[in-house]
Each structure stands twice: as C-alpha cells, then as structure tokens.
Chains A and B, each alone.
Chain A
C-alpha cells in the first residue's frame, strides 16, 4: 500500500514539474535564457532552468518518500526521484511531440521552431527520447542528493548558487574587471565569456566555493572565537575597517564599472528614496498609499520648472537651490493630499490615494496644463548640477555657464543619489527612534487606542504624509537632473506599485529592508536584460514567495531582530506564577 503511495506521489510531482517546464517554455523564458550561458559550451541558462526543475522534482519526490516511509530507504528514494524525473521528461516530450504536429504559435507566440530545436538538442522529433533520458537522470540525481549528508550537500548547493550568480552577473563583473589593467583583465577573460562563465571559470568557481564552504563550516567557530576575544577597541577597529572598505568600493564603483552600472545604482537609489518615503506612510504609520508617484512627479516637475532652459523653465536657479524648493513643494502637496483622506482608512485609503496619483499624472500630461508643464512634450533641457562659485550658486535667471565641475554624467550624479539615499535613511532611522516614530507605529497597530493615549491623529498622519512626500520629492528632483527631461508618461501607476512591492519584499517598516527590496526588485531586472522581459512575472512570483515563505520580509524591521537577539543574549527566566 505504502509503496504504491510513494510512487504515485512521485509521478504527481513529476507531472507538476513537467507543467512548470511547459510554462517556462510557453512564456519564452527557456528560449531567451538559452542565449545566455551558465558555463559556455556546457549548459545554457535556459537548459539549466529545465534541468533544475527536474532535479528539484526528483529531490522533492525523494523527500516526500522519506516522509511517507518514515526514514530514508535508499532504493525507494532513488526510485521516487527517478519516477519524478521521468514523468517531468514525459510531459515535456509530449509537449514537444504535440507542438511539432500542431501549430501552437497562433496562440503561444513563444513556441518557435528554435525552442523545439533546443528541447530536442537539435535533432527534431527524433531526439525526443533524449528528453526522457535527461529527465530521468536529473530526477535520479535529485533523489540521490537527499541521501547525501548535509555536510556534503550544503557546499554543493552553495557552489551551484555561486555559479548561477556569477553567470547571471558575468557581464557586470567582466566590464568592471576588463576596465582594470594587467592581471585583472586577463583573469576576466579567463573566467568570463561574453555570455556567461568559461569552462575554466565554472570549474574554478565550483571548487572554490566548495573549498570555502567546507573551510567555513569547519573553521567558523574558531574565527568567531577570535573575533569575540578581541578587545572592545579591536572590534571597533574591525568595524571601522569594514566600513572604510565598503566606502572605498562605493566610491570607486562608478569609475570602474562605467555609466551603465552607475545609472543602475542611481535608479536603485531613487527607488530607495521613494521606498523610504513610502515606508514612513505604510511601514511606520500603516497608511497604504498607491499614488505615491505623484510626489515623485511633483519633485521632478518643480526642479524642471526652476532650472530648465527649455520653453517651460520659469527660472534658472542652480540645482542646489532648486532641490530644497522641490522637496518643500512635494511636502506641501503631501499635506494637501493628507487633508481630504485623513478620515479614510485601510482599503479605502489605498483607492483614494490611487486616484490622487492618477490625477497628478493626467494633469501633468494634459492639454489644460500644457501651457505650464508642456503636456505630452514634457519639460526638457533641465540643468545639470554644478559645483562652482558662489555666484553661480545664487544667480537667478541668467544663462548659466558652469565654470566649476559639472555633474552631468550618471557616474557623477551617482554620488548625489547615494549621498541622498544615505542621508534620508539616516533621517528615517532617527524619526523611527523618536516619539513620532512611536506615535506612527501606534497608529499602525491600533488607531483608536493610539488616539486614546493622547496622540493627535490629524497631526501625526499629516506629518507622515508630508515627510514621505518630501523624500519622494527629493528622488524626483534627482531623477529630473539625471535624465535632463521629464515626461508625464514616465509617472505611471506602476512606479507606485513598484515602491509598494519593494517595501513588502524588503520588510514593512524596515529601513535596510527598503534597500534590499530596491536592489532585488529594481536593480536585478535592470542589470539582467534577459530578466527584464519577465519583470512582472518575477515580481509576482517574488511577492507570492515572500508572502508565503517569509511574510516579515527579507530584512525585517529592528523590533523583531532586537527581540531575537535579546532572547539569545539572556534567556528570560521562566514564569514563577501560574
């Protein structure tokens, strides 16, 4: 009875994995990713996806079997893995056969001949049997993997992860390293190909990671001991050293990596700014705001109007004067939005703010406001920041010539963006640790009780809106100077949704969480051009995964950490009463 059970289970898992494989093919991921290599001439990213699906199916089937049979029984585990892999293969093979007979392209654009070619290893329908073999072997490997002891399993998983990571970002590392001279450049060519890792690179990273993992698990205790034994002063200097190292990397990055990477970092920083702003509203005060892009737009347009040389520029003040004004204007609008929605709670608040965001975008792009804001033509000719004389700093409405250093390129605006993000993160932290932060969190937890404890709801909420808007306005202001032009069409609802999503993925109310969320949801798709095709698919997947697996976010807020830390440090004496 039980035997049938686990085989049937494995088959079911195989069928599901096969369906996932077909899904990956249908959305076009397999074909597009097959243009990227994990290891050149060995395996492409697309094939890796399918292979990983089968291996995982085998592994899961094997684990289920252990659960069903209450313990590892090598033969059953291997059998389960094999069946799961085989059925993954069968489903994919059927898919290939079916789509070679029936023209699916009318509906599923991604079922190209190239895809079928790829799946059958270039042999047409005659190669279908290979799919079965591959699936079975992959499943068997997955099933066997469970039988390995964790001390072997972990380094291998780490190594595969590192290889995937290195392969995904190979172009990034390659660009940075090739820009250096001598040995580093050669190393780059040795390790990375144009599309992924070279075979040598793959081997080096694989065994390198295994070595490091093994060393780490055997030596970690000793190193920790060494660090713990350091005197207070030593610990401090260790910390200072790591901060200096980090600062060095941050400062050197734009020059080493070039404009593209710098621009990506700027965009991440802008989203961090917006994320920190929205974090005050959502994360601290619990005010769901879906129209947040409005404040970004207001910051951008203010800088545009104040500094543009184009026909809509009202003034030509310097960037340094325009930014504070933009922040103040955004803050003012934050307050204006806050007033009408003060009494609105929860879902209703989300819809009301959504409307606000759309109103701002539509107004900015409308003919009605075209006289002032350029309508669909937008505002162009926005000045770049200039570090120069005091005269340039204060001058108003004169043709500006930058006699000092003009910060025009992304590599230069990079520093402004990073500095702003750091400053705002610092502000957020300080606000959080003040009576205002506590008041906001109390409102988030229970508005009525907060009011009954003497918190003026109107005041506290308005302040949250205003400060949140100010942070976003700063982001918009930097965005305007980065791009040099603003169009209403770039202020889409999706920007607001991105910001909400990055807060949720990072961890509500957590300041480092915003940074992590921005890097994961904004940075990664920017860096991986192939991935950006599937940006929203992956967004959805990431959101669902985080909500199920780690609902507190990737980097949860301090309270929870502090508590965990506390429990480790000093176990609480057990209850004496009751």
Chain B
C-alpha cells in the first residue's frame, strides 16, 4: 500500500514549548490509523499541522505527492483532506442541511451575479448540492432533521452531522479528532461500525485521535503513539498493547508491569 500522507520531521513550537517534535509519520491509502497518547502529547497540534490550522515550523508534509505544509486550510481541503473537531465546531445557528452545504462550497461556482439572477446553471448547481446534502444527511442517519438548527441537535447527532459536513468536501483523507468523546458504549459501537463503513464503502483513508481504547484497538490497522510531542511507538494494536514505553507513557514507570489491557480499559472509562 502506498502512503497517501507522509509527514517528515514535523516540528511545531509554541514559544518555548515543543508541541510536536520531529515526528515522522505515514498513512497507507485506504487504511484506518490512530494516534494516541496522554493529554498534551501534541496529537491535536499534529492534526492542526496537517490541516493547515498551524504552520509546521520544520519538516514537510506530503499529501499524494504534493507538499502541503505551507498551504492555507482551504487549499488543503481542496486537495482532499477534511476533519472534525475535538470540541464539536458546527455552525450552530445554521440548519443541519446548510452545515453540510457549506462543506460543498468548493464544488460550487456560482458568482454573486448569477446568484441574484438565479441563472439556470446556478439553480441546477444548487439543486444538485441540496440533493447531495440530503443524501449525506441520510447516510449519517439524520434523515428528516435537515431543517433543524445544528445547535438544537442532541450531542451524538451533532457529532454525526460534523462527519457529514466533512464528507461533503469529498475527502480522500478524513481526520477525526476524538469522535467517540462523550458517547455511551452503544453509540461508540455504532461509531466504530460507521468508521469501517466510511472506509469500505467510500474508500476514504481515516486518521483518528482517540482516547477510547476499545475503539482504537478494535478499529485501527496501525497505531502511532505520541508523548511530549515525540513519536514513541508505532505498530499494530497488538504490538502497541505490549509496548513497555507506551505503558510507561500512560501510567508512569512501575505500572508498566501491570496488564495493559486492563489499564487502558480503566483509562478509557475515565475519559468518557
């Protein structure tokens, strides 16, 4: 499998703090990859570097052969990377459908003049966008809720709407920042199945930050562990579970001897 995204020696500093420290990272195409690590390990900052929210101070990020580390977020999105946010960031005062349609912005081209006149092309484009938005809404299981304001949706549905909005940009690589945060076990299970579907049905490569170890271990083909901005381990779920450095990062020295499975389970529960 060829990597869709390659990060080389990516470093991001905030003043004296090195949030991401010379991280090398690859995502094979059509795979599901997780980044885990204790709080403050630099996971979200790394996400931000990929999506252009933060500019990496050093290193290169290559997406499908093109360097993207100096591009603006909208340019990166246009190349096919989309994301969701740790704390849901929907457009609260817009309807669910409008939220998704904002995601389609890059495919729409009507100028302001044709929007006022409502040219045939513009109308057809809008109609197409609306149909597509409706389809995505149904796809994430929010059928019939398109006219509700995003802020009035229940928490779990807001998460799904955020994914639908990200899907509207037709991403090749989708970054999910703690998608299962605040979900109950049943919702988490649904989410795991849903992420699999995204990959299998739509062929999207998925990178997720996740604290919920059951999700991470059940879903990932590859896991990268960050701690203090550095990559301390990488491998399959099995390898990670038995990696003493990972256990140490999570639980401190001495705890490394304890059963990893149990420890993570406890950790995951505490988080959610």
Contacts and interface: CB of A to CB of B under 8 A. Distances in A.
A566 interface: yes
Given A452-B73, A562-B95, A436 B115 contact: yes
B152 A563 contact: yes
A557 B245 CA distance: 55
Interface string B155-171: 01000000001001100
Interface stretch (A145-153, A304-312, A402-410, A426-434): A426-434
A449 B51 CA distance: 11
Interface in A429-476: 430-431, 434-439, 441-442, 445-446, 448-457, 463, 467
Contacts of B169: 453-454
A117 B53 CA distance: 70
B149 A453 contact: no
A278 B159 CA distance: 34
A436 B112 contact: yes
Nearest to A560: B149
Given A442-B94, A442-B102, A452-B77, A563 B89 contact: no
A454 B145 contact: no
A577 B156 contact: yes
Contacts of A566: 147-148
B186 interface: yes
Contact of B186 (A427, A454, A563, A577): A577
Interface string B105-148: 11010101001101000100010010000000000000011011
B257 interface: no
A511 to B, nearest CB: 14
B6 interface: no
B94 A438 contact: yes
Interface string B68-101: 0000111011100011010001011111001001
A438 B98 contact: yes
Contact of A453 (B52, B77, B115, B118): B77
A446 B94 contact: no
Contact of A452 (B53, B108, B110, B147): B53
Interface string B181-204: 000101100100000000000000
B21 to A, nearest CB: 24
A434 B126 CA distance: 8
Interface in B32-79: 51-53, 72-74, 76-78
Contacts of B95: 559, 562-563
B62 to A, nearest CB: 19
B237 interface: no
Contacts of B118: 430
Give the interface size bracket for A toward B: 35 or more
A575 B112 contact: no
Contacts of B154: 575, 578
A452 B74 contact: yes
B3 to A, nearest CB: 22
A1 interface: no
A572 interface: yes
A375 to B, nearest CB: 37
B103 interface: yes
B52 A452 contact: yes
A430 B123 CA distance: 12
Given A451-B74, A577-B156, A559 B105 contact: no
A445 B93 CA distance: 7
Interface string B203-242: 0000000000000000000000000000000000000000
Contacts of B105: 435, 438-439, 442, 453-455
A451 B104 CA distance: 12
Interface in A554-578: 559-560, 562-563, 566, 572-573, 575, 577-578
Nearest to B108: A435
Nearest to B190: A577
Contacts of B152: 563
- Residue of A439, A451, A452 with most chain B CB atoms under a 10 A cut-off: A452
A430 B147 contact: no
A454 B76 CA distance: 8
B51 to A, nearest CB: 6
Given A452-B51, A452-B52, A559-B94, A467 B83 contact: no
A437 B126 CA distance: 12
Nearest to A451: B73
Interface string A462-495: 0100010000000000000000000000000000
26 contacts: A430-B118, A434-B112, A434-B126, A435-B105, A435-B126, A435-B129, A438-B94, A445-B94, A449-B85, A449-B91, A451-B73, A451-B74, A452-B52, A452-B73, A452-B77, A452-B82, A453-B168, A454-B77, A454-B103, A559-B94, A559-B149, A560-B149, A563-B149, A566-B147, A578-B154, A578-B184
